[in-house]
Amino acid sequence: MILVNARATFNPEGPFKLTTIERRELQPHDVLIEIKYAGICHSDIHTARGEWGPVTYPLVPGHEIAGIVSQIGAEVTKYAVGDRVGVGCMVDSCGECSSCHKGEEQYCLHGNTGTYGATDRYGHYTQGGYSTHIVVTESFVVRIPDNIPLDAAAPLLCAGITTYSPLHHWEAGPGKKVAVVGLGGLGHMAVKIAHAMGAEVTVLSQSLKKKEDGLQLGADHYYATSDQETFKQLAGSFDLIINTVSAQINIDAFLSLLALDGTLVNVGAPADPLAVNAFSLIGHRRSFAGSMIGGIRETQEMLDFCAEHNIASEIEVISASQIDEAWERVLASDVRYRFVIDISTMNQE
Ligand SMILES: [Zn+2]
Ligand SMILES: [Zn+2]
């Protein structure tokens, strides 16, 4: 076992404490990554607080990992020591089911192995990126292009791919009208990526507080959903709506904004069921869909796309001692737009 330092929570309420965790010895296809930055995702909070099911403590969250390869297993062919790499929300899957064969490992029929809070094929409990090193099989590691700084790249591994995948799947591009609901960590990436794909982008946010930001990030239009006029004015407008909000929203009201054959895709996951009136769907052959992260091949494609279009996340870098404070700010929507932990501060008070 390889002992590494990490920040873990020992119960649902926290706080985070500096501790030591075990990483497995390198298997022939494993890569040891020295983590430089780890993004803070809302899912980290849901998971650590047990809101998505029971978890084992201590728990080290973090599935937006950017770092440098520091050692490779005997049969690794994809990576060399010194390579800039990333790890996202999963670190393994069965590799044999129809989803895995399609390169959609996130939908593995046997369940993918989460980067933290899961049991891997060796029977080892997985721990995430709020730590100095991680061991991952090379097929679940992606390459971070040279022109994306590692800190701004980290959130692409979850927020980036979670929005890129549905935009790509439902063919956002020139001539397509795309709306993004919510301008947070996911929403700001959806705006940047949809804009780079050539779509006409509208932000639908609760208020106009972040309007200037939204337009700067690449949105063409910005509307407040607290204003009922918005729903009248934009009725039947969009080909695709990406809903990044994980709270309860009025799905029927948002479906009414879709054009013929339009699709509303949920990437956020509210704890309680969402109600949908069938008439909202059948009237204009609309779809209500969901999408979860993306496959490994698609994650690499997303990183290369971001490099080509010179986009990455808007971030606020924090030290490891500020994780608890940052979580509170995430819950208060007080972040523009992603916190990233500087892992070099791991041992600081
Ligand atoms: Zn995430
Ligand atoms: Zn599978």
Ligand nearest 108 Cα, by number? 2
pLDDT at 314: 98
| 261 burial via Cβ count (<10 Å: 0-12, 13-18, 19+) | exposed
pLDDT at 182: 96
Q: Is 157 helix (H, G, I), strand (E, B) or coil?
A: helix
Q: At 33, which helix (H) or strand (E)? A: strand 30-39
* Token couple for 129: 């990126």
Ligand nearest 103 Cα, by number? 2
Q: How far apart are CA 17 and CA 11, in angstroms?
A: 11
- Average pLDDT (93-102) is 98
Ligand nearest 44 Cα, by number? 1
Asked if residues 148 and 307 have their Cβ atoms less than 8 Å apart, the reply is: yes
Ligand nearest 65 Cα, by number? 1
Judged against a pLDDT cut of 90, whether residue 104 lies above it is answered with: yes
Asked whether the CA dihedral 132, 137, 138, 139 is positive or negative, the reply is: negative
The Å distance, Cα 81 to ligand 1 centre, comes to 27
pLDDT at 51: 87
The Å distance, Cα 339 to ligand 1 centre, comes to 12
Phi, psi of 311 (to 5 degrees): -120, 150
Ligand nearest 246 Cα, by number? 1
pLDDT at 246: 86
The Å distance, Cα 279 to ligand 1 centre, comes to 33
**pTM of the predicted structure, to 2 decimals:** 0.97
At 288-345, the pLDDT tens digits run: 999 999 999 999 999 999 999 999 999 999 999 999 999 999 999 999 999 999 999 9
309-331 burial code (b ≥16 CB/10 A, e <16):
eebbbbbeebebbbbeebbebbe
- Average pLDDT (259-284) is 93
pLDDT at 268: 87
The Å distance, Cα 64 to ligand 1 centre, comes to 7
Judged against a pLDDT cut of 90, whether residue 52 lies above it is answered with: no
Q: How far apart are CA 324 and CA 134, in angstroms?
A: 22
